[in-house]
Amino acid sequence: MEFALSEEQRLLQDSVTRYLESQCTLDHVRAAVENEVTKHTEVWNGLSDMGIHGIIIPEDFGGVGLGFLEAALIAEALGRTVAPVPFIASCVMAPVAILAAGNASQKDIWLPKIASGETVFGVGVSEQVGRRETNGIQFSDGKLTGKAMFVLEGMSADMLIIADDKGVMHIVDANAKGVTRRNLKTIDKTRAVAEVVLENAAADTLSGSQNNTEALLKTIDTGRLMLAADTLGASEVMIEKAVAYAKERKQFNRVIGSFQAVKHMCAEMATELEPCRSLVWYAAHSVNHIPDESRLLACHAKAHLSEIGRFVAKTSTEVHGGMGFTDLLGLHYWFKRIGLDRQLLGAPELIREEAAVAQGW
C-alpha cells in the first residue's frame, strides 16, 4: 500500500518543473503571448526533447507510454509556469480520443506525429458539455457542417478533433477547405480557444465513437483532469508568491505575514489546496487502475479544484495588496489561467450535476 509518487514520477516531476522554471520564465510567457505563439517555441520543442508530447502515447506509436498520473504531473508543472503550450488538447485529449476510438490506420498516422511534436491537435467537444452560441454540428456523407465553439488550441492546431451533435468524434484538417477559424479572446492569453466554422468540411470519423459515448466521455474526463492539475500547479505558485510577499513586505514596521489577518489568509490557502493534490493524484491514478471510479473522480477533481483555485487566486491577489492588481508583477497570469481552467469543459455547477447523475442521484 503506497499512496505517493514513485521515485521515477518524482524525478519526472522535478526535471519538468526545473526545466520549465528556467526556460518558461514570465518574460518568455509575456513574449509568447504578445506574438500569439504557442507552438514550435523553444519551450514546446524543449518539452518535445524530454518526451512530454508522447507521455501517454504507447511506445509502439513513438510515445513513452506512461500513465495519466504522469500526465497530471506535467499539467501541474505547466500550470505552475503558466506555460503557453497546447499540452492538454494535443498531448492528452487528442491521443485519448484516437486511442479509444480510432482505427489502426488513424493511430498509425497521427499518434507518432503527436508524439514527435510534428502535428498539433486542437479539440472541440464543448458542445457535448453544454451547447451555447451554436446550432450544433451535423455530420453527413463524410462532411461536417456547423459551428464548434471554444475549441481548445483551435488556433495553433494543424489538425482538429471535433465532436458532432451525436457525440461522434472526427478528425478534421484545420487548414482544409470549408474550415474557418477565429480566435476567441479570453482573459487568459496563455492558451488559445477558437471558434471553428465548418462548411462541408471533410471529416475522418473516429468510428469507435459511433453508437458508444465511452471514448468521448474519456476524452472529456481526461481533459478535465488535466485542467484540474493545471489549476493545482497555478494555485501552488500563487500561494508560494503570497507567502514570499508576506515575508518580505513591511508595513507598520513589521512584515505583513506576522499579522494574523494576513497569516490566516496564507494558512487558509495552503490548507484548502493540500488535499486537492491527493485528490488529483488519486483521480489520475484511477484512469489507468480503477476505471470504475474515474468518471466520478475526474468530475470532482475538476469541480473542486475550480472552487479552491478561485479562492486561492482571489486570496493571493489580496495578500499582494495593490501590487497584485498590477500588470507589473504579472500575478494576473496565474489568476487568469485558473479562471480559464474553471470555465473550460464544464464549470463546477454543471460538472457536479453530471457527477450526481453518474451516481444515480
Partner 1 sequence: MDLAYSAEYDDFRSEVQQFLKEHGHKSPKGRMGWGKTDDEGRSWQQLLIEHGYAARTIPKEYGGYGAEADVLKNHIIAEEFVKAKARPGHSGDPRLVPTLLELGTEAQKKAYIGPTISGEMTWCQGYSEPGSGSDLASLSTKAVLEGDEWVINGQKIWTSGAQYADMIFCLVRTEPDAPKHQGISYLVFKMDTPGIEVRPLVTMTGEAIFNETFYTDVRVPKDQIIGARGEGWFVANATLKHERGSLGDPNQLETRFGALVKMLKSEKIDGKPLIKYPAYRDRLLQLQARVLSMKCNGMRILSASIKDQEPGLCRWIVKLLGCELNHQMAALAIDAMGELGVLYEDSPYLRDYGMWQRNYMLDLGLIIGGGTAQIQKNMIGERALGLPKEPKYKD
Q: Which residues of the shown chain bind partner 1 in the complex (CB under 8 A)?
A: 1-6, 69, 243, 246-247, 254-255, 257-260, 263-264, 266-268, 270-272, 274-276, 278-279, 281-282, 285, 289-290, 297, 300, 303-304, 307, 349, 352-353, 355-356, 361
CB 330, CB 238: distance < 8 Å: no
CB of 354 to partner 1, least distance (A): 9
Q: Name which of 2 and 34 has its Cβ closer to partner 1.
A: 2
CB of 270 to partner 1, least distance (A): 6
CB of 265 to partner 1, least distance (A): 9
Q: Which of 39, 73, 79 is nearest to 342 (CA)?
A: 79
DSSP 262-312: HHHHHHHHHHHHHHHHHHHHHHHHHHHH-HHHHHHHHHHHHHHHHHHHHHH
CB of 353 to partner 1, least distance (A): 7
CB of 49 to partner 1, least distance (A): 27
Q: Letter for the amino acid at 201?
A: A
Q: Which of 236, 227, 359, 361 is nearest to 303 (CA)?
A: 227
Q: Name which of 11 and 267 has its Cβ closer to partner 1.
A: 267
Q: Name which of 7 and 141 has its Cβ closer to partner 1.
A: 7
Phi, psi torsion values for 170, nearest 5 degrees:
-135, 150
CB of 188 to partner 1, least distance (A): 24
Q: Name which of 27 and 360 has its Cβ closer to partner 1.
A: 360
Q: Name which of 178 and 259 has its Cβ closer to partner 1.
A: 259
Distance (Å, whole) CA 167 – CA 165: 5
Owner of C-alpha cell 482505427: 103
Phi, psi torsion values for 76, nearest 5 degrees:
-60, -45
Q: Name which of 5 and 184 has its Cβ closer to partner 1.
A: 5
Q: DSSP secondary-structure letter at 210?
A: T
CB of 355 to partner 1, least distance (A): 6
Distance (Å, whole) CA 160 – CA 196: 9
Owner of C-alpha cell 489538425: 159
Taking CA atoms, 127 is separated from 146, 194, 203, 333, in Å, by 11, 13, 17, 27
Distance (Å, whole) CA 351 – CA 349: 5
Q: Name which of 12 and 83 has its Cβ closer to partner 1.
A: 12
CB of 201 to partner 1, least distance (A): 38
CB 157, CB 94: distance < 8 Å: no
Cell of 82: 503558466
Q: Name which of 99 and 262 has its Cβ closer to partner 1.
A: 262
Q: Name which of 6 and 175 has its Cβ closer to partner 1.
A: 6
Distance (Å, whole) CA 3 – CA 176: 47
Owner of C-alpha cell 480566435: 183
CB of 95 to partner 1, least distance (A): 21
